[in-house]
């Protein structure tokens, strides 16, 4: 039974270490006393764990905090220089690779526009590999020191690593197997809405929320439901884009009609604009450039303004449905379409949301735009290796 005792002691030690590290990672600087209160661990245990974390380079002292009457307390924080992580955004219009420190500050990025439609998975895998090389060279980083590589895909990743991504035309693509021979660090794949939700709650507009819904607006439309607890944040995806907002409405690529994505997805917005009689041709090539031109044109009355107004109405209905169903305390709109249209569209979205949400729920739900900047989806993917590091029972090198 000796082995069992040893095993249990190791498990307990790892659990204590994970509790302290997660508290510092998600909630910022804290004293040993704060850590004791937050984790329920004894003073001696917190002291031992902190000593280990400092000597391993994960945590550092961050100055003194005056305490009433007593002696000042030393603040502790996670040390950004401990490790770097890579996050990959496989979008429908571009591939972006970001190198971040493990606290998710951006170190370097590489972005490649891609042919829209049905990209060849092998070509995308080569772009990802080139991007990892580019960001590590740009940053003068050592590729072997990267903690892990997270890849966010606009689809479902099954346990066997096969990816189903209708917006890319992928059905059962072994993307993990295509990448693995070229990536030295541990590789993690997941749905990009789920990982973006995780990043918004860890570092963006969802911080401190009890239940945040993070909508990812791009060509496809997804959402993650992120729930916070003292020990961390869990995030699950939902097929928000395929909830119906108009009976017998616009055809959706999923085969149904009237789906939210068929009204607020980037392609759907541009298609609607193109059908308005007399709508001027939008400048630029590619979905992102044309949508940017539409937003710029919407400042004056006309087809672009009408398109933005209509998009806001359907988006508000979609958000109201989420609120009525799940009563989140915060809804966050993220993704490149939200970054492009959000600032000009937000008042109209709030108005539509208010008209379709039950009164007693609308007052307790805030609607905000994401705050993670242009690398948001890559940053979301970069949460995957960090999540693995913070997971109790993790095999990462902590
Ligand atoms: Zn659909």
What's the mean pLDDT in 205-226? 92
pLDDT at 165: 87
Instruction: State residue 231's pLDDT score.
Output: 54
Ligand 1 geometric centre to CA of 252 (Å): 5
List the domains of the chain with CATH numbers.
2-81 (1.10.10.10), 83-198+376-390 (3.30.420.40), 206-369 (3.30.420.40)
Q: Say if residue 181 is exposed, middle or buried (CB neighbours under 10 Å; 0-12, 13-18, 19+).
A: exposed
Distance 244 CA to ligand 1 centre (A): 8
> What average pLDDT does this structure show over 207-234?
84
Q: Considering just the CA atoms, what is the radius of gyration of the chain in Å?
A: 23
Asked if residue 107 lies in contact with residue 139, where contact means CB atoms within 8 angstroms, the answer is yes
Could you tell me the pLDDT band of residue 208, with boundaries at 50, 70 and 90? Answer: confident
Ligand 1 geometric centre to CA of 251 (Å): 8
Distance 243 CA to ligand 1 centre (A): 7
User: Which of residues 116 and 230 earns the better pLDDT score?
Assistant: 116
Give the Cβ contact number of residue 346 at 10 Å.
17
Tokens linked to 4: 């069992």
Q: How many A from CA of 330 to the centre of ligand 1?
A: 25
Mean pLDDT of 67-72: 74
pLDDT band at residue 237 using 50, 70 and 90 as cut-offs? confident
371-380, pLDDT tens digit by residue?
Answer: 898 899 999 9
Residue 239 Cα to ligand 1 middle (Å): 9
Is residue 160 pLDDT above 80, yes or no?
Answer: yes
- The DSSP output letter for 139 is T
* Contact call for residues 360 and 323 (beta carbons, < 8 A): no
Which residues have a Cβ under 8 Å from the Cβ of 241 and sit 6 or more positions away?
220, 221, 222, 223, 259, 260, 261, 265
DSSP string across 157-185: E-TTS-EEEGGGTEEEE-HHHHHGGG--S
pLDDT at 230 over 80: no
Output the pTM of the full model: 0.88
Instruction: Report the alpha-carbon distance of residue 372 to residue 214 in Å, rounded.
Output: 12
Q: What is the mean pLDDT of the chain?
A: 91
Q: What is the pLDDT of residues 269-313, one digit of tens each?
A: 999 999 999 999 999 988 999 999 999 999 999 999 999 999 999
Cα distances from 214 to residues 142, 200, 220, 260, 375, in angstroms, run 33, 7, 14, 15, 16
Minimum mean pLDDT range among 57-66, 272-281, 341-350 = 57-66
Choose between 155 and 302: higher pLDDT. 302
pLDDT in tens, 114-136: 877 778 999 999 999 999 999 99
Instruction: Match 């890849």 to its residue by tokens.
Output: 151
DSSP 111-123: EEE--SSS--HHH
């Amino acid at each position: 039974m000796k082995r069992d005792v040893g095993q249990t002691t190791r498990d307990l030690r790892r659990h204590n270490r994970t509790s302290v590290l997660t508290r510092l990672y998600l909630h910022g600087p804290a004293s040993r006393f704060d850590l004791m209160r937050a984790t329920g661990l004894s003073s001696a245990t917190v002291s031992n764990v902190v000593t280990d974390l400092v000597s391993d380079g994960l945590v550092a002292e961050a100055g003194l905090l005056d305490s009433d009457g007593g002696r000042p307390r030393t603040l502790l924080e996670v040390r950004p220089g401990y490790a770097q992580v890579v996050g990959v955004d496989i979008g429908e219009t571009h591939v972006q690779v970001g190198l971040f420190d493990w606290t998710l500050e951006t170190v370097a990025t590489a972005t490649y526009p891609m042919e829209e439609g049905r990209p060849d998975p092998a070509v995308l895998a080569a772009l990802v590999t080139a991007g990892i090389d580019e960001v590590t060279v740009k940053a003068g980083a050592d590729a072997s020191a990267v903690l892990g590589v997270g890849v966010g895909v606009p689809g479902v990743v099954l346990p066997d690593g096969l990816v189903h991504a209708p917006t890319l035309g992928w059905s059962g693509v072994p993307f993990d197997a295509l990448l693995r021979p070229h990536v030295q660090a541990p590789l993690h794949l997941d749905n990009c809405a789920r990982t973006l939700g995780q990043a918004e709650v860890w570092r963006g507009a969802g911080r401190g929320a009890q239940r945040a819904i993070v909508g990812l607006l791009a060509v496809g439309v997804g959402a993650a439901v992120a729930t916070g607890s003292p020990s961390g944040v869990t995030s699950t995806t939902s097929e928000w884009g395929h909830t119906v907002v108009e009976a017998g409405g616009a055809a959706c690529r999923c085969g149904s009609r009237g789906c939210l994505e068929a009204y607020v997805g980037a392609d759907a917005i541009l298609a609607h604009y193109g059908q308005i009689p007399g709508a001027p041709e939008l400048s630029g090539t590619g979905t992102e450039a044309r949508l940017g031109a539409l937003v710029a044109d919407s400042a004056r009355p006309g087809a672009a303004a009408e398109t933005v107004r209509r998009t806001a109405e359907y988006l508000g209905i979609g958000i109201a449905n989420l609120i009525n169903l799940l009563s989140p305390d915060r809804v966050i709109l993220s993704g490149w379409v939200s970054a492009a249209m959000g600032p000009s569209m937000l008042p109209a979205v709030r108005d539509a949301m208010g008209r379709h949400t039950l009164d007693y729920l609308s007052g307790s739900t805030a609607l905000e735009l994401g705050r993670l900047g242009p690398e948001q989806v890559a940053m979301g993917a970069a949460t995957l290796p960090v999540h693995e590091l913070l997971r109790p029972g993790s095999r990462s090198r902590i």
